[in-house]
């Protein structure tokens, strides 16, 4: 039988996997188990890590206020404890949250802090995720340049086998296309998105799968490929419903009402009404 410390690590690993698989209820349960055990062990670093994972899950569900509160509480623990591993991840998450709230400069500040730490610690796995998020912010001004930069980061991740970075980059591309459906995709965008989608589908990374499928549908519509566009949007809708169906009533409503999901559902419904 493993030690309590091994149990905490196992809970964190399980929570990360469940987040990727969009099994958010299980991810929260694992994070909370890990946090309770870390608290009993008085391991503040692991407590902060578990709180970060729970906050990340709440962010994915769309509970932004709860996610921000938990992330900032974890940040206070980190400031006292000095855990370098968790601090940039919390800054990255707070950047995502503040960006969703329309606070772009605050988000940029969090990302710059995270990037500085990761460059100092030579963390080449987490650094590209921060750089992708920075380009996500830059896309508000110059989406084409941001797309090119993210494609380059994805290609680097592919050469190094950094799967999570590929997924993160694919989601960022999908979100940029959804916000800019009439943009010129260039030569490398669609193949890159299709590669990431294929991996996401194979591994069951549902959040990436629906966002990429929907965005590729928009690009297909731009090319006049109506059947492909319909198939892509229908597939995205099925995955969204699958994710929502795994959540309890309140969390399901929150998820379906979150900006990315609700705007996608509205657009699909509007398109269906026209056709």
Q: Are residues 16 and 54 in the same domain?
A: yes
Q: Does 256 score more than 90 pLDDT?
A: yes
Q: Which domain CATH number covers 38?
A: 1.25.40.10
Q: Looking at 122, 143, 176, which one is the last position of a domain?
A: 122
Give me the pLDDT at residue 1, please. Answer: 40
Q: Looking at 94, 122, 150, which one is the last position of a domain?
A: 122
Q: Are residues 62 and 135 in the same domain?
A: no
Q: Looking at 102, 122, 142, which one is the last position of a domain?
A: 122
Average pLDDT over residues 105-127: 91
Closest listed residue to residue 244, CA positions, set 16, 22, 15: 22
Average pLDDT over residues 256-269: 94
Query: What tokens were used for 128?
Result: 């590209």
Which long-range contacts link 247-252 to residues 24+ away (Cβ below 8 Å)?
A: 247/24, 247/25, 247/61, 248/25, 251/24, 251/25, 251/61, 251/63
Q: Are residues 111 and 143 in the same domain?
A: no
Q: Are residues 101 and 69 in the same domain?
A: yes
Number of domains, the chain: 2
Classified as helix, coil or strand, 123 is coil
Q: Is the dihedral of CA 116, 122, 126, 131 positive or negative?
A: positive
Q: Are residues 118 and 132 in the same domain?
A: no
Distances (CA, A) of 29 to 12, 15, 32, 111: 11, 8, 5, 28
Question: How does pLDDT run across 15-38, given as a tens digit for each residue?
Answer: 999 999 999 999 999 999 999 999
Question: How does pLDDT run across 53-82, given as a tens digit for each residue?
Answer: 999 999 999 999 999 999 999 999 988 876
Q: Are residues 238 and 209 in the same domain?
A: yes
Q: Are residues 69 and 132 in the same domain?
A: no
The enclosing H or E element of 239 equals helix 226-245
Q: What is the DSSP letter of 183?
A: S
Q: Are residues 141 and 272 in the same domain?
A: yes
What count of other Cβ atoms lies within 10 Å of the Cβ of residue 28?
20
Q: Are residues 152 and 206 in the same domain?
A: yes
Percent of the chain clearing pLDDT 90 (strictly above)? 83
Q: Which domain CATH number covers 209?
A: 1.25.40
Q: Are residues 265 and 131 in the same domain?
A: yes
Give me the pLDDT at residue 167, please. Answer: 95
Range of the domain at 104: 1-122
Q: Are residues 87 and 176 in the same domain?
A: no
Q: Are residues 147 and 17 in the same domain?
A: no
């Amino acid at each position: 039988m493993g030690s309590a410390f091994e149990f905490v690590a196992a809970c964190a690993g399980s929570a990360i996997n469940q987040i990727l698989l969009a099994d958010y209820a299980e991810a929260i349960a694992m994070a909370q188990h890990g946090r309770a055990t870390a608290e009993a062990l008085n391991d503040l670093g692991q407590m902060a890590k578990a709180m970060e994972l729970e906050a990340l899950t709440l962010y994915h569900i769309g509970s932004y206020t709860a996610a921000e509160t938990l992330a900032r509480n974890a940040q206070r623990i980190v400031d006292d404890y000095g855990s370098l591993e968790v601090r940039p991840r919390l800054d990255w998450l707070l950047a995502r949250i503040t960006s969703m709230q329309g606070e772009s400069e605050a988000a940029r500040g969090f990302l710059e802090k995270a990037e500085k730490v990761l460059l100092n610690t030579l963390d080449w796995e987490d650094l590209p995720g921060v750089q992708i998020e920075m380009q996500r912010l830059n896309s508000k001004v110059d989406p084409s340049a941001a797309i090119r930069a993210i494609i380059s980061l994805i290609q680097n991740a592919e050469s190094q086998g950094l799967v999570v970075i590929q997924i993160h980059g694919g989601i960022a591309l999908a979100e940029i296309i959804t916000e800019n459906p009439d943009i010129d995709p260039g030569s490398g965008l669609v193949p890159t998105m299709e590669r990431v989608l294929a991996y996401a589908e194979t591994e069951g990374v549902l959040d990436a799968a629906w966002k990429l499928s929907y965005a590729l549908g928009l690009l297909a519509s731009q090319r006049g490929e109506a059947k492909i566009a319909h198939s892509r949007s229908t597939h995205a809708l099925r995955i969204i419903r699958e994710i929502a169906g795994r959540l309890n009533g309140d969390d399901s409503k929150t998820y379906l009402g979150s900006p990315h999901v609700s705007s996608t559902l509205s657009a699909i419904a509007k398109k269906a009404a026209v056709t």
